[in-house]
Structure 1
Amino acid sequence: MNEPLGTSRIYNKTECSENQTHRRKMEGNRGSLERIDILRKIKELTRSMIVELSNGSSKMIAIDRFKSYCTNSLENCCCRFNLSEGKEILTLQRESHVRRLDVLLRVLLIIQQLLRENRHSSKRDIYYMHPSVFTDQSVVDRAINDICILLQCSRHNLNVVSVGNGLVMGWLRFSEAGWRFDCIKKPNSAHFIPVQVEEVTDIASPADYILVVEKESVFQRLANDRFCSKNRCIVITGRGYPDVPTRRFLRLLVDVLALPAFCLVDCDPYGFDILTTYRFGSMQMAYDAKYLRIPQLHWLGAFASDSEKYNLPEQCLIPLTLEDTRRTEALLKRCYLRREVPHWRLELDSMLQRGDC
């Protein structure tokens, strides 16, 4: 695995320069076609709503519902993240639905304008366009998720971007929108993870593995200890609960580089929730889990069983609060733990039984 630079997964500069123009042209054409397709779908959606209105129907739209897990206590669960779990019908007969349709159409109009002008906007920017109508950021978030499901696309296809929080360092090179980033020159220096991950190309790395850490403080400690100088790896942090660009960027690296990925999180319910978000996806964006989940991700620790294995003093452990206990019990009910990673579930159950972390 320790190939010299310029071999294996590393592409030399001559190859990059020869293919760069052609690749950008192809990507630009693909992006234009995607925008045209989304605009066509928006037109079809609004036309269908007008037809329903003209026919006197109160039924406006049917939105597929997705979930990344269920809480079925039986072992015969057949949840699949990429299958719809039924539909939600929005009608004009319920006041809450009317308001939701109003928000959805307002956001859809903004997205249509963004696509026509080939501009990008954050969810927060969209909220501030009509704060008195939207009232809360979560209202906009829900509308964007509904639109993605209705148009069968990802959020980035709508030119809606997140404010990126993630950081990366280590043995990695990549290009973004024509800019070349060479982390290898200073492997212990942090770089912000690109917000527009779809524009990341020319990924190259001689790394042996990818390490995901929960906290920025741990990331900074590894940087201060020059961890990446001593270990040929890529280190990523979402600085807590990972945002969409961090998850998409990690998924892209795993797919392109075919490297093993390991995750280091706190031994508490919040750390475990972050771990499962990386590996299995979130319920809020279950419709897009196929692009966000990292099924190859391995849990590196810390484990609940480590306290006994290494004879940690009791004063090093923190008692679970009532909220911690509730969160742990909810996590234990997730079907994918029993089905895919039963050993993870045992560690989580051990934490609950001991009452500390």
Structure 2
Amino acid sequence: MAFAPMGPEPSFFQALDRHRASLLAALRGGGGGEPAGVGTRLASSSEVLASIETVIQDVITSLARNEAPAFTIDNRSTWENIKFEDSVGLQMISHCTTKKIKSDSLKSVKNFALILKILSMIYKLVQSDTYATKRDIYYTDSQLFGNQTTVDSIINDISCMLKVPRRCLHILSTSKGLIAGNLRYMEEDGTRVHCSCATAVAVPSNIQGIWNLITDAKFLLIVEKDATFQRLLDDNFCSRMSPCIMVTGKGVPDLNTRLLVRKLWDTCHVPTVALVDADPHGIEIMCIYKYGSMSMSFEAHNLTVPAVRWLGLLPSDVKRLNIPKDNLIPLTKRDQMKLDSILKRPYVTCQPCWRKEMEIMADSKMKAEIQALTFLSSDYLSRVYLPNKLKFGGWI
């Protein structure tokens, strides 16, 4: 069933249709990423409970032997433990180095106790088939945890230690992302959600629970910043380019936004393109959607979409459009360090066009925000830049 409003003539989407056909052909040939629905297998509640019981049994056994119990967790903070596969992204190697959270060390005893506490909370949640947000966990004893970051880090450590996707722990993240466009789906409780081209809806908190996704979108546009996303909505971009979907994670994407983008790819195989600032931070965010992050590399199969393409803003576009230097921003020392870091990452070797764009940025020593296009006209982004890019296949 078609969605309204109707956008351009069908011929407008020829480049996107060809791109989608090539993606599907690559999938069938086994070279374009994981087949639909393939990823880290979701663990059943009984399996999660059994895993926690095994961990606690090990603690009890250590105590019975008069030994100080410790948790062994894969080290997710070093590139040495990360491998890269073009079809998956960044993922942990099978025999990676580990870190020990010891109960007899002043440095880690508090962390050990907090892991035990959160493990007990997860056990009760899974056992009772109820859910809590990370924020709920924090507020059960905010003085003990100290800050939300501590809770978030421990939950990731537990997920990695149990080898269980985080959503199987019955802990949800509060979504910050937004979605708009030609999409309908059902939430777990049966609520029908109709996304609109005119207004955005919040990304659901339980992506695992949504079902019956229906869309006839020709493309999914990932927008780095909320301000740009809102401007595109105000300019009726989504309606004029219908059928399409727009998503923003409002900067560095939260887990739910990444899960949603992955679910849309698995379910619909819609060509996915990214609109980010022509700066190292924007490129980093795009890489998180495409290849994942070091900290969540143990769950890469569920989070990455290697089919993502860079639509803009390209450093070469800045040069081509003759955007004045006054509208550009000099790279800071921190920017240059970030750019150097990205250029050394394993996935850049299979993206020569990306490398070329980053080298243009490095040579110019300048970066550009998407808003720099307003120099040409206030609605240049929505009426000229993006439509031309989409029509003529201007992604890399």
- TM-score class, shorter: 0.7 to 0.9
Residues 222 and 197 of structure 1: CA distance in aligned 2, closer, same or farther (over 3 Å) = same
Identity of aligned residues (%): 33
In 2, Cα distance between equivalents of 1:141 and 1:254: 26
C-alpha distance in 2 between matches for 1:69 and 1:262: 27
> How many aligned residue pairs are there?
322
SS at match of 2:252: coil
TM superposition shift of 1:246: 0.4
The aligned counterpart of 2:279 is 268
Give 2:324's aligned residue: 313
Q: Is the 8 A contact 1:265 1:275 kept in 2?
A: yes
Pick the aligned partner of 2:245 from 228, 234, 237.
234
Q: Match of 2:366, as an amino acid?
A: D
Write the distance in 2 (CA, Å) between the matches of 1:71 and 1:307.
Answer: 37
Partner of 1:179: 191
Tell me, yes or no, if structure 1 residue 294 matches structure 2 residue 318: no
2:136 matched to 1:128? no
8 Å CA contact 2:275–2:311 kept in 1: the answer is yes
Q: Render the CA deviation track for 1:22-69: whole Å, top value 9, x for unaligned.
A: xxxxxxxx99x8222211211111011111221233352322234695
Determine the C-alpha separation between the residues in 2 that align with 1:293 and 1:82.
13
Task: Select which of 343, 353, 359 maps to 1:332.
Answer: 343
Shift of 1:300: 0.5
Gaps of 5+ in 1: 7-29, 73-78
SS in 2 for 1:168: strand
Q: 1:346 to 1:53 in 2, by over 3 A?
A: farther
Q: Provide the rounded CA distance (Å) in 2 between the counterparts of 1:219 and 1:92.
A: 47
2:179 and 2:201 in contact (8 A); partners too: yes
C-alpha distance in structure 2 between counterparts of 1:4 and 1:135, whole Å: 50
- The equivalences for 1:1-357 within 5 A come to 4=2, 34-58=44-68, 60-66=70-76, 69=79, 81-84=91-94, 85-177=96-188, 178-183=190-195, 186-231=196-241, 232-338=243-349, 340-357=350-367
Q: Which residue of 2 aligns with 1:15?
A: none
Instruction: Give, in angstroms, the shift of residue 4 of structure 1.
Output: 4.4
What letter corresponds to residue 228 of structure 1 in structure 2?
A: C
SS in 2 for 1:222: helix
Shift of 1:223: 1.4
Q: Take 1:68 and 1:189, find their aligned partners in 2: how far apart are those partners?
A: 41
Q: 1:334 deviation in Å?
A: 1.7
Given that 2:274 and 2:310 are in contact with CA atoms closer than 8 Å, whether structure 1 keeps it comes out as yes
In structure 1, what is the Cα distance between the partners aligned to 2:249 and 2:317? 24
Opposite residue 148 of structure 1, the aligned amino acid is S
Residue by residue over 1:139-172, the C-alpha shift from the partner in whole angstroms, topping out at 9 and shown as x without a partner, is 2122111110121111111111111111111111
Distance 1:262 1:4 in 2: 22
Structure showing greater relative contact order (alpha-carbon pairs closer than 8 Å, 6 or more residues apart): 2
What is the alpha-carbon distance in structure 2 between the residues aligned to residue 68 and residue 344 of structure 1? 24
Structure 1 distance, partners of 2:343, 2:362, is 10
Counterparts in 2 of 1:222 and 1:317: CA distance versus 1, 3 Å: same
Contact 1:68 1:81 in 2 (8 A): no
Question: For each residue in 1:289-324, what CA deviation from the matched residue of structure 2 results, as whole angstroms up to 9, or x when unmatched?
Answer: 111111110010111122222222111211112222
Contact 1:211 1:263 in 2 (8 A): yes
The code of the aligned residue for 1:196 comes to N
Deviates further, 291-300 or 219-228: 219-228
The 8 Å contact of residues 223 and 275 in structure 2, kept in 1 or not, is answered as: yes
Is the alpha carbon distance of 1:213 and 1:271 closer, same or farther for their aligned partners in structure 2, counting shifts above 3 Å?
Answer: same
1:349 deviates by 2.7
With normalisation by structure 2, the TM-score equals 0.76
Name the amino acid aligned to 1:98: V
Q: 1:39 and 1:270 mapped to 2: Cα distance? A: 39
Rate the CA distance shift 1:182–1:131 in 2: closer, same or farther, 3 A.
closer
Question: Gaps (5+ residues) in structure 2?
Answer: 5-40, 83-88, 368-396
Aligned to 2:24: none
CA 1:133 to 1:5, structure 2 compared with 1: closer, same or farther past 3 Å?
closer
Cα pair distance change 1:70/1:225, threshold 3 Å: farther
Q: In the alignment, is the contact (CA less than 8 A) between 2:262 and 2:305 conserved in 1?
A: yes
Distance 1:158 1:241 in 2: 23
Q: In 2, distance between residues paired with 1:342 and 1:94? A: 47
Q: Secondary structure at the match of 2:315?
A: coil
For 1:208 and 1:67, locate their aligned partners in 2 and report how far apart those are by CA, in whole Å.
Answer: 38
8 A Cα contact 1:68 1:289, kept in partner: no
Residue 98 of structure 1: how far off its partner (Å): 1.8
Q: Counterpart of 2:110 in 1: which secondary structure?
A: helix
1:262 Cα offset (Å): 0.3
